[in-house]
């Protein structure tokens, strides 16, 4: 008896349908599957499926059928494909069918990733896991976090999957998924409504033909990502360099005092730490930012133009602003060159390893030296001078703005804009915005956690039980811990968190607190010289958190859910 049945009911021409049927039969023989195929033509039905065959089949394939599906397959695991899908790669279509789970369920593999690889990555993974369980689907999620891939997908799992779901805010390498149906999204849909995202993915995922990398396929539609996603890809690769460099610089001052940077200290332990942190890690993070922005746009051929352009930005004094421009210029120029350069088939291999890196680097480098470098360097110098001279009301205004931005969307584009701005200024030795941003980012989850204790009646049982873990996330500078509360009651929670964060940022800026590391929350504060004016910094965080908690207690209504 056959374990797979198929019906080919759409497409133009009898010959095309017969060819598709033969392609499926050949793929089934090679894979060791039994298959029975019914072909509907204008002249009649070829090899009609018997009811007994359909009854014993484990899965059905509909090729070019109606949206409603064949009623004879009701209650069976069914996949749909177009004639073009079958003719392009019948084995991939058959693989989807062979790996289909029992009726009502599908096998899904997923990747989640966010720019920092900390909170959204794992919240999206949890959202997908819970949604798939509720819908009766089988899912495996690979989290591409700050320490690399967690629970990595195996080749067998990918081969058996019906679809690949990418929920990421930065570029993810799709090279492993040739021949699979792939759907791409950001992390927010997975966090907010995983069920709806899975439904969309099952309906809209597109077949990645053959085994070619998506960037190299001809005739395939490359998913649109946009400048924000490219920038966040660069930031995600940059952050480890900034974190390592900042902590090592702080340790250098801890061991060598304020003279750790003097020439006389060059051969001391403190001098070595400063050499590693400031002259190596901090020198690298600007080119890395440019390089991986370009990589996100143009894949590997864009890496050299973006990174070399970023290094030129560093050498010309254009800093992180110049690196961002270099990344976008290098990436888009390389992608454009890839589209317009036409070579004979035998010379195609020269494009990614020779022509594109050389021409892209030449174009980007000349622009950085002759056009972009000096004006951007002047702009960065002016911005640095203004920030360093900020006192009183001007520092207060910047602190209020940065703080409010951090709490507005809690890990979204506005939050990341404030964070990226502050991290970039570390290379210019401007440390006060970084302190304000981290204080403001810690405040929303800390304030909410405090409110669940002080005003317990305003929160339901689940929210109160989650308060402790939300507080731990806040201590770790993971603003996203506040998202579930904001999603539940946005018009009350978000204004409260924005107000508290704005106050925390303002106090930090007015107190001239300087922070040398871009992440870590309270766990980096005890490190000598990582933060200045530590007492006032703690006051800023506590004040912002208390204000958030009190406001929540005043504006939130008593929870409508009865305990128990």
Residues annotated catalytic, as ranges: 114
- Taking alpha carbons only, the member of 441, 509, 432, 451 closest to residue 475 is 441
Pairing of β 163-168 and β 107-113: parallel
* Pairwise CA distance, residues 107 & 154, whole Å: 14
Given the structure tokens 């080919």, which residue do they identify?
A: 8
What does the block give as tokens for 239? 């952050």
* Pairwise CA distance, residues 142 & 151, whole Å: 5
* Pairwise CA distance, residues 14 & 21, whole Å: 11
What does the block give as tokens for 248? 């090592």
* Pairwise CA distance, residues 94 & 277, whole Å: 53
- Give yes or no for a contact between 246 and 514, defined as CB atoms under 8 angstroms apart: no
Pairing of β 44-46 and β 35-41: antiparallel
* Pairwise CA distance, residues 131 & 374, whole Å: 51
Helix segments in 136-209, DSSP class H = 155-160, 187-192, 194-204
Instruction: State the virtual CA torsion across 88, 94, 97, 99 in degrees, nearest 10.
Output: -110
User: Between 282-298 and 356-367, two packed helices, what is the crossing angle to 10 degrees?
Assistant: 120
Question: Residue 62: left if φ>0, alpha if ψ -120 to 50, beta else—which one?
Answer: beta
* Pairwise CA distance, residues 460 & 484, whole Å: 12
- Give yes or no for a contact between 387 and 333, defined as CB atoms under 8 angstroms apart: no
365: enclosing H helix or E strand? helix 356-367
What does the block give as tokens for 375? 């004006």
Query: Burial code of 58-85, b = ≥16 C-beta within 10 A, e = fewer?
Result: bbbbbbbbeeeebeebeebbbbbbbbeb
Residues 6+ apart with CB under 8 A from 168: 111, 112, 113, 114, 144, 184, 185, 186, 187
* 3-class secondary structure, 169: coil
Query: Burial code of 149-171, b = ≥16 C-beta within 10 A, e = fewer?
Result: eeeebeeeebebbbbbbbbbbbb
* Pairwise CA distance, residues 81 & 84, whole Å: 8
* Pairwise CA distance, residues 271 & 264, whole Å: 9
Report the largest interatomic distance among the alpha carbons of the chain, rounded to a whole angstrom: 93
């Amino acid at each position: 008896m056959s374990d797979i049945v198929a019906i080919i009911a759409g497409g133009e021409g009898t010959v095309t349908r017969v060819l598709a049927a033969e392609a499926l039969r050949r793929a089934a023989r090679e894979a060791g599957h039994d298959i029975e195929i019914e072909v509907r033509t204008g002249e009649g039905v070829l090899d009609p499926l018997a009811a007994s065959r359909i009854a014993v089949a484990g899965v059905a394939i509909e090729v070019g059928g109606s949206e409603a599906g064949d009623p004879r397959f009701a209650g069976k695991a069914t996949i749909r494909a177009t004639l073009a899908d079958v003719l392009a790669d019948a084995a991939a279509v058959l693989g989807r069918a062979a790996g289909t789970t029992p009726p009502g369920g599908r096998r899904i593999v997923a990747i989640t990733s966010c720019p920092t690889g900390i909170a959204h990555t794992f919240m999206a993974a949890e959202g997908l896991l819970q949604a798939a369980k509720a819908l009766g689907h089988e899912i495996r999620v690979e989290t591409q976090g700050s320490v690399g891939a967690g629970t990595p997908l195996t080749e067998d799992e990918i081969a058996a999957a019906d679809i690949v779901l990418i929920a990421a805010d930065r570029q993810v390498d799709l090279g492993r998924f040739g021949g699979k149906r792939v759907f791409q999204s950001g992390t927010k849909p997975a966090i907010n409504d995983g069920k709806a995202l899975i439904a969309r993915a099952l309906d809209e995922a597109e077949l990645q033909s053959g085994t070619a990398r998506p960037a190299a396929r001809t005739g395939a539609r490359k998913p649109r990502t946009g400048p924000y996603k490219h920038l966040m890809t660069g930031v995600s690769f940059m952050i480890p360099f900034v974190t390592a460099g900042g902590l090592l610089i702080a340790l250098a001052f801890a061991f060598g005092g304020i003279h750790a940077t003097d020439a006389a200290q060059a051969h001391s332990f403190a001098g070595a730490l400063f050499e590693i942190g400031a002259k190596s890690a901090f020198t690298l993070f600007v080119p890395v930012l440019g390089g991986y922005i370009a990589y996100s746009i143009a894949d590997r051929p864009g890496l050299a133009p973006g990174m070399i352009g970023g290094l030129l930005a560093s050498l010309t004094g254009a800093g992180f602003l110049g690196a961002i421009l270099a990344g976008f210029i290098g990436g888009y120029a390389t992608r454009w060159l890839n589209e317009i350069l036409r070579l004979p088939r035998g010379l195609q291999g020269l494009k990614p390893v020779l022509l594109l890196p050389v021409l892209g680097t030449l174009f980007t480098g000349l622009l950085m030296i002759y056009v972009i470098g000096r004006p951007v360097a002047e702009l960065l110098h002016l911005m640095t001078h203004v920030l360093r001279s900020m006192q009183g009301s001007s520092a207060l205004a910047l602190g209020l703005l940065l703080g409010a931005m951090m709490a507005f969307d809690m890990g979204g584009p506005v939050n990341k804009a404030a964070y990226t701005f502050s991290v970039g200024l570390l290379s210019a030795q401007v440390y006060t915005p970084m302190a304000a941003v981290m204080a403001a980012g810690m405040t929303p989850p800390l304030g909410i956690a405090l409110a669940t204790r002080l005003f317990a009646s305003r929160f339901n049982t689940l929210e109160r039980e989650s308060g402790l873990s939300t507080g731990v996330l806040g201590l770790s500078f993971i603003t996203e811990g506040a998202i579930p509360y904001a999603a539940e009651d946005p018009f009350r929670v978000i204004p409260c968190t924005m107000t508290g964060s704005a106050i925390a940022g303002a106090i930090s800026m007015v107190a001239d607190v300087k922070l040398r590391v871009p992440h870590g929350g309270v766990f980096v504060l005890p490190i000598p010289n990582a933060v200045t004016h530590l007492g006032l910094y703690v006051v800023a965080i506590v004040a912002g958190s208390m204000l958030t908690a009190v406001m929540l207690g005043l504006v939130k209504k008593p929870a409508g859910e009865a305990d128990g």
